[in-house]
Amino acid sequence: MIKWITRTIDSVILFHSIVLAYFLRFNFEWEVIHQYPVLDSGLLFMFLGVGAMLLTEKEKWLGSRSRIGNFALVAHTVMVALMLASLACLVTEKLVLKAPFVPISVLVIGALLAYFFMSLYRLFVKEFYGMYLKKKQPQKHIVIFGAGEAGRLSKTVLGSQVGSNQKIHAFLDDDMQKAGGSIGGIPVYHGLDRLKTLQRDHAISDLLISIMCISPRRKKEIIEECLQLGIKVSVVPSIDEWVKGGFNVGKIRQIKIEDLLSRPEISLDNPAVFSQISDRVVMVTGAAGSIGSELCRKIIEHKPALLIMVDKAESALYDVEQEFRSGRWKSQIKPILADIRDAKKMDRIFKMYKPAIVYHAAAYKHVPMMENYPEEAVTSNVLATKNLADLSVLHNVSQFVFVSTDKAVNPTNVMGASKRIAEIYIQALSRYLDVEKGQVTKFAITRFGNVLGSNGSVIPLFKKQIEQGGPVMVTDPNISRYFMTISEACQLILEAGAMSTGNEIFIFDMGEPVKILDLAKKMIQLSDKKIGEDIKIVFTGLREGEKLHEELLCHSEQLQITHHPKIRVVKMGDMAFSKVNYQIEFFERLLILSSDTEIVRHIKHIVPEYVSNTSRYHVLDRLN
């Protein structure tokens, strides 16, 4: 609606600019003026001007306070209209009328008048629009953390926002040399020393972190101080985002829970990953899941000859396929709707596409669900993994990477124990091939903790509970977990494939474990809610099979260093393949005739360190 109103006003200005130009050009002498087609000239210039606007004025001038940019845009529009009108008049004079039509001097004067009035009216409208927005919006009182170039640019960008009812009261910076100075009349203070005083004196509501290179630990300290004071925290984009897309208000983002990790995000850039994947056929199982889909995104950036995406979730797989079909990637993809437990179908897939690398990310991973359905944990996490590993050997796959979990370490639940059995089989098979057959397929295992934002993690669950008004349900006030981002998890998986020489378990250094209760509190505060008033926290007790604290190493395992300081490796132990293979194949008999208890009893027999916690299977531990 606003767009068409402004177009109408511009049309009126364009028409009357030409009419007024006639009067100015001929000193208001009507005897001379009426000899020219004044109305036709005005209509011609109006229609050509509107056409020029449609071609040139693509920006939303009402939403920006860049006066110079808007004046230049109007000048561009008027110049195009002038050139089109001059050309039209020239053609009319030479080919149609054979006589003067509209004097060029009139067009030039009309263009100058149109530029003046269109610019002036835009200036007034923008000022009134800004005043209107200010009245509608509550005032923000802001401090900027960072008094360097990024902080100065942030001040400029914040000030350029139309209708921004906000005031910057101070800059904060850890550099003592900058403290005591000022930027554009705004004082600079050291660190967080004055933040509490500033909030008391000026009702500070927002803090913008505007430093390009700030340590995660310092960022966490700033955020936590603001959370205690009830101040909202935002952050400017990274250097890469800044350079690629420019910096504007839309790029300033709210703090995410990932920003509260007390360690820097692990970033890997190993050229060997590209050389391993490029121009090869790669298969990903569980390709529609949160980790599997992100893994596919990273793989396709390395230009494989073909990316095979296997998953049994139809809708999710379709969504991932559409993303890749409409994206910038040129590599071929092949989404396959299949259940990895279907041995015959998986064999056909291997025969048809001959993958060189297999990343096995498909699994059942919800602890309480697998406590209720241990047979599903066995078929999906154990037997399907065995089947995929065997097929990889049979079809000469060069690299097989298995995605495991920290819950496989000294497990207390069926899910973790099933993943541990899968680890044991891969270790035994890899060792057997290495010693007895001459290893063709290299096996690697990646083991990591909770992945922030992945399906089933606590982050989406807490977010949903907060959006619904609470309560946020935490199992135990002391429960803690290791956390990593989806990007970190996928990097580790790819790095494992590139680094592996066979028979290794790869582990990230994920820093200190995070208390889930602290995580819940911070998520509530980041949502601008008050704990206990707006959102309550309820303790529900540990779920069946749930551990209080996770571990990354089994008792018998020892870490070894690698080329990267954040990656550790554990060499797989010696295991008798024939014994392990028999024990796993015995599950096929149990699944036909036996109860849940007998299945779990056999799991405990294979994994003696598996001791159930808050589970009905705890009775089996007492009987042993």
- Mean per-residue pLDDT pooled into runs of 10, the chain (624 residues): 67 77 75 71 75 61 50 72 74 59 74 77 69 61 84 75 68 86 86 85 85 79 84 72 48 62 63 82 92 89 91 92 80 91 95 94 90 94 95 92 89 93 92 74 85 72 85 89 80 80 78 83 81 88 83 65 73 79 91 88 92 85 67
404 & 495 share domain? yes
Closest CA to 610 of 547, 542, 541: 547
Closest CA to 517 of 538, 542, 533, 535: 538
Chain centre distance of CA 261:
16
58 & 173 share domain? no
Task: Please check whether residue 235 lies inside any domain of the structure.
Answer: yes
583 & 478 share domain? yes
Q: What is the pLDDT of residue 151?
A: 81
131 & 144 share domain? no
Task: Please check whether residue 192 lies inside any domain of the structure.
Answer: yes
Q: What is the pLDDT of residue 245?
A: 46
Task: Please check whether residue 307 lies inside any domain of the structure.
Answer: no
Q: Contact, 156 vs 65, CB < 8 A? A: no
Q: Contact, 36 vs 22, CB < 8 A? A: yes
Rounded to whole angstroms, what are the CA distances from 175 to 171, 172, 179, 188, 390? 11, 9, 7, 10, 59
DSSP of 37-78, one letter per residue? -HHHHHHHHHHHHHHHHHHH--S-GGGB--HHHHHHHHHHHH
Domain with 113 in it: 2-135
Closest CA to 340 of 377, 292, 381: 381
Q: Contact, 548 vs 564, CB < 8 A? A: no
Task: Please check whether residue 271 lies inside any domain of the structure.
Answer: no
Q: Quote the CA–CA distance of 127 and 119 in Å, as a whole number.
A: 12
Task: Please check whether residue 596 lies inside any domain of the structure.
Answer: yes
Q: Quote the CA–CA distance of 128 and 126 in Å, as a whole number.
A: 6
Residues 6+ apart with CB under 8 A from 249: 157, 158, 160, 161, 164
Task: Please check whether residue 288 lies inside any domain of the structure.
Answer: no
448 & 571 share domain? yes
181 & 119 share domain? no
Closest CA to 287 of 313, 306, 305, 323: 313
For the chain, what is the domain count? 3
Task: Please check whether residue 29 lies inside any domain of the structure.
Answer: yes
Which of 255, 275, 302 is where one domain is finished? 255
560 & 524 share domain? yes
Looking at 65-168, list the stretches that DSSP marks H as alpha helix, in order from N- to C-terminal side: 67-91, 104-136, 149-159
- Residue 422's H or E segment, with its range, is helix 414-432
Q: What is the pLDDT of residue 248?
A: 46
Q: Quote the CA–CA distance of 420 and 385 in Å, as a whole number.
A: 11
Q: What tokens appear for 25 in the block?
A: 């050009």
Q: Contact, 83 vs 22, CB < 8 A? A: no
186 & 98 share domain? no
The length of the chain, given as a count of residues: 624
For 215-224, b/e burial (b = at least 16 CB within 10 A) is ebeebbebbe
475 & 549 share domain? yes
Residues 6+ apart with CB under 8 A from 276: 357, 399, 497, 498
Closest CA to 388 of 483, 244, 284, 531: 284
Q: What is the pLDDT of residue 350?
A: 95
Q: Quote the CA–CA distance of 56 and 81 in Å, as a whole number.
A: 10
430 & 572 share domain? yes
487 & 532 share domain? yes
173 & 72 share domain? no
CATH number at 210 reads: 3.40.50.720
Amino acid code (one letter) for 37: P
Q: What tokens appear for 443 in the block?
A: 């096996």
Q: What tokens appear for 121 in the block?
A: 């009216």
Q: Classify residue 119 as left (phi > 0), alpha (psi -120 to 50) or beta.
A: alpha
Q: What is the pLDDT of residue 624?
A: 58
Half-sphere exposure of residue 528, counting CA atoms within 13 Å on the CB side? Answer: 8
Which of 85, 108, 135 is where one domain is finished? 135
Query: What is the number of other CB atoms lying within 10 angstroms of the CB of residue 403?
Result: 29
Place of tokens 């598996």: 610
Which of 255, 282, 307 is where one domain is finished? 255
Task: Please check whether residue 339 lies inside any domain of the structure.
Answer: no
Place of tokens 């296997």: 310
- pTM value is 0.69
Q: Classify residue 330 as left (phi > 0), alpha (psi -120 to 50) or beta.
A: alpha
Q: Quote the CA–CA distance of 299 and 301 in Å, as a whole number.
A: 5
Amino acid code (one letter) for 238: S
Q: Contact, 614 vs 544, CB < 8 A? A: yes
